[in-house]
Amino acid sequence: MMDDRFEQWLREAAQQYHRPGTTPREEMWREIATRRAARRRWIVVRPVLRWGVGIAALLALGVAIGRWSARGPSSAPQQTVANAPDHASPLPYRLAAAQYLTRAEALLTGFRAEARAGEPSGQFATQARDLLATTRLMLDSPAANDVRLKSLLEDLELVLAQIAQLPAGADREDVQLINQGLEQRSVLLRLRTATPAAPTARAQGVL
Amino acid sequence: MDERELIARVRAGDGAAERALYDAHVDRVYRLACRLAGDDELAREFTQDTFVRAFERLGSFRGEAKFSTWLHAITTSVVLNGLRKVQRIRRREVDLDDAATVTGTRGSAEPDLKRRLTQAIDRLPDGYRTVFVLHDVEGYTHEEIGATLGIETGTSKAQLSRARAKLRDALEDFRGEWVS
């Protein structure tokens, strides 16, 4: 009897518990529609990106084959060994790696600075997605014959994937986790060591 | 229009059907999000997340349960996971509030029943609180709760009973309210 009274009283009193106001129907729908449209765009853009990456890979391969055939197959090994004994990959790949590493360094430095100041903008996620595709290409290319570069590329792939998946308005803990990963694996330090001081100038001089 | 037909049209990419499905369910989803989150801003976020996720996963809805049950399952999952994240950040603030409440309300001349009830429900373990809110506040049946939370009907009943017992203990100071 007493239990029944309590339950009835509780049900009535609990109607006030976090009582909802009017549903902000239009405001929420606008946000949902925006997010849905952004995802649709991403789905449409992805195949285009894949084509772009494929074309870039073909071009890189073409350059490498062209250089190899210009030197002639018999003289190439001796010349390569004599001119560049400390490099495991052909010049075009080293140049591509230098440019890629410079972009990655700029992205991560900016990300870390904004994370310290507050909340990093969603622009970083977009840039990270772009760089991710290049990272995979680099890992599959002769540039990854260099053991140190390969290890750096693998760490970069992980960090870039985390940034790429960071939702807009991500909480501080998610951002901190990424920064911790950067620190623990000394990614920025290794990037700075691996990146030549003026890659573009050097590349132009060599070419 | 029949809801099945509406869902089929959403699957086919019909934007107007998406809006119609949203309009049909948004009040209940927002209401549930508010009750569980206790914060308008969070409730808005969770409602938006629920619909974005539901539209994306509509292909996996096989129609074995009611659409509303499927949607409310997504809602509770989104809200409870979201709250866990938020609670980690808020824990320190809540601890400070609790300390002030304990010393301030016991034996005070005009006890605030509404506030104490809200705090008592907020302090229930997640499982108890969810079942209590769904059943006693929002009026779901144990069968609906079982389908929504993916638990047995008996588990739902047991959790509700434990939730009520805990609330009764927590509100012992107000015994006169239901005895009289």
pLDDT averaged per 10 residues, chain A (length 207): 82 93 96 86 58 63 62 48 50 76 84 75 79 82 81 85 74 76 81 62 38
Instruction: Give A147: exposed, middle or buried? Use CB within 10 Å, 0-12, 13-18, 19+.
Output: exposed
Contacts of A27 in chain B (CB under 8 A): 44
pLDDT value of position A85: 43
Query: Considering CB atoms only, which of A6, A7, A14 is closest to B117?
Result: A14
pLDDT of residue B156: 97
- Interface check B42 vs A, CB under 8 A: no
Is A82 near chain B, with CB under 8 Å? no
Would you state the pLDDT for residue A100? 82
Output the pLDDT for position B91: 66
Q: Greater confidence, B33 or B115? A: B33
Distance from CA of A123 to the nearest CA of B (A): 21
Question: If we measure between CA atoms, which residue out of B49, B37, B42, B35 comes closest to residue A31?
Answer: B49
Q: What global pTM score does this model have?
A: 0.56
Q: Between A195 and B103, whose confidence is greater?
A: A195
Question: Residue A32: closest CA among chain B residues belongs to which residue?
Answer: B48
Q: B18, B25, B40, B48: best mutation site toward chain A, by most A Cβ within 10 Å?
A: B48
Determine the distance from the C-alpha atom of residue A23 to the mean position of all C-alpha atoms in its chain, rounded to a whole number: 38
pLDDT at A57 (0 to 100): 64
Does residue B96 register a pLDDT over 60? Answer: no
Whether residue B102 is predicted with pLDDT greater than 50 in this model: the reply is: no
Radius of gyration of chain A (CA): 26
Please list every residue in chain B whose beta carbon sits closer than 8 Å to the beta carbon of residue A166. none
Higher pLDDT, A131 or B131: B131
Q: What are the phi and psi torsion angles at A36 (to 5°)?
A: -65, -40
Asked if B26 and A9 come within 8 Å (Cβ–Cβ), the reply is: no
* A171·B167 Cβ contact <8 A: no
pLDDT in tens, B48-69: 999 999 999 998 898 888 999 9
- Kindly tell me if the per-residue pLDDT of B100 is higher than 80: no
Q: ipTM score here? A: 0.82
Residue B109 has pLDDT above 50, yes or no: no
Q: What percent of chain B has pLDDT over 90?
A: 67
**Residue A168: predicted pLDDT:** 62
- Give the residue on B whose Cα is nearest the Cα of A28: B48
Considering chain B, what is the average pLDDT of its residues?
87
